[in-house]
Chain A
Amino acid sequence: MSGRVKDTGNTVGRSRGRADTARRRSAVAWVVAGAIPLAFLTVFFAWPVATLIGRGFTTDGALDLSGFAEVFARPRTWRIIRLTLAQALLGTALAVLLGLPGAYVLYRRTFRGRALVRAFVTVPFVLPTVVVGVAFRSLLTEGGPLGFLHLDGTFTAIVLALVFFNYTVVVRTVGGLWERLDPRTEQAARALGAPPWRAFLTVTLPALTPAIVSAASVVFLFCATAFGVVMVLGGTRYGTIETEIWIQTTQFLDLRTAAVLSVVQLVVVGVSLALFSRARARRERALDLQGRPTDEQTAQRLRLWNRRRPGGDLLPTVVTSAVVIVLLALPLGNLLVRSLRTPDGWSLGNYTALGTTGGDNALTVTVWEAAANSLRIAVDATVLAVVMGTLVALVVSRRPRNPLGRRAVWWLDAVFMLPLGVSAVTVGFGFLITLNHPPLDLRSSAVLIPIAQAVVAIPLVVRTVLPVLRAIDPHLREAAGVLGAAPWRVLLTVDGPFLIRSLGLAIGFAFAVSLGEFGATSFLSRPDRPTLPVVIFRLIGRPGPENYGMALAASVVLAVLTATIMGVAERLRREGTGEF
């Protein structure tokens, strides 16, 4: 009898020891998994950016804040800050105002062709900024379809292009939540005597607020750090902190001013990010309360007329149609049409010219060569971003038992959002001043651009994969464990299938971001190996209808390339994947 008891005790002791070892081993594995991307981010993001900031604060190794005083004493600085904030606020407000009816029509109502419109609305977001700039310019320029509005080179044109860009963000973020709101809450309000508009204001809008705030912060972030669009549309009169950093560095060679401006931008971005993360926390809390209504309950048929009177759907439908046709379709259609027009009439001349280096040898390589460059770089950048981003998402999706681990996971999540906010120009500029001398001299290395683009794309990969992993019911992992799966097999058999589903979209995002990346690339690309956006920007800066025509054709090529990749990725997406 006593022997049996002792025996049992031994077994328990031994298995506890084994469990401890296993737990330790798995903890070590997770720490390593987190350390790899963290090291990457430290070397290729934190270090360059920190060095850059250091430039703003020090002169010859001593603390020196005179740079700030000097930069802030210039009226030009204040004008740039004012312009940056004004266009970001206006762009955000307009995007939200127009995006709300869009979210309603596209996510709360069904109609024939909804899937098509939804897909089309996504296109602008993935379009390279340079392409958007070129598209708006060809629309608004003298002699363009909307030339009579005289908006070319105006502040309005920039804001409109920003809204074009970010409309999708609002529609998708808000629509994603709206789709899941139980319509019966609003019906309860209606039954309690609230007319439709009051039910919307008092019940639906408060429920949507977290998503709206979240979308607005992201849009604000994108607008405040807009580069390509402003570079193409703003000319010399309008700029943002972002373009100013570029101008100070490349035109005036004033690295100190550029560094100070980078710090200013970091502050602006930091505040927005803080708001963003708070809004996200609230959003997750708000969603806990919702059940999952069925499609039948949430998506009703679009009804413009109700017993021959204008129905509640009329206004949002009109607004959304106007936005989709005038703001989204017109610039893109116009870009396509114009790319087919040459001085000798309609022809594919602009496209055949892509095999040349442009009028007066505007370029050092042909556009097709640049496109091949872009694709090669995009493959490298995508591999880097997806590997790093997935590691981060896997680590961050864990829920460690001890508070230390939980805090570490929280920090890792927050830290990897930073590149989303720190402007690409700052990253490129930082690379330029840190990675061009020992210990790490990558100046002439072909990996520099892919690394910079990967830094920009990692947050998007994380934000695409993480929600999917977080949505896995922890009980599922526990069930697998109880059924005898070792931790690595749980990861493989439970997380794996979810991960793979979201990976298609993540790859698409990373690829599209890399193809269109202009901010960092414009600093880092070498004249003999430019990417497509760089070439387009150079072409529109050169005189001659031939170069302009080539820029249009190249923009179409780039747009089609990104849209195709996103289209394929989108097909792999499942309902409710990702945040954008």
Chain B
Amino acid sequence: MHTPLTPPVFHILLALADEERHGYGIMQDVAWQTNDALQLGPGTLYGCLKRMLAAGLVEESAERPDPKMDDGRRRYYRMTTLGRRVVRAEAERLAGAVTAARARRLLAGGKA
């Protein structure tokens, strides 16, 4: 997988940055991160996860029930070291782009 990452991949990695989550957990976190702008459908989420698993950015963790949900076992996903490096590189690239946009006064909060 190459940078720039697609928005779903980037946000999925962000969702897994500090804890492992199951599919619905990822979906909810991505919605929260993006203020509901990005609602991952099942096909998009698992299509991305399939490619991310193949690229070694994420791995499957143990299958277990979620205490917050009232049903059976769920498969959890966790970010690998490679995944962490990739998401950091992408975040730095975006931060650089934001700084450049600020300098051109396209964004609030730049130097006057």
The judgment on whether A and B are partners is: no
Residues of chain B whose beta carbon lies under 8 Å from any beta carbon of chain A: none
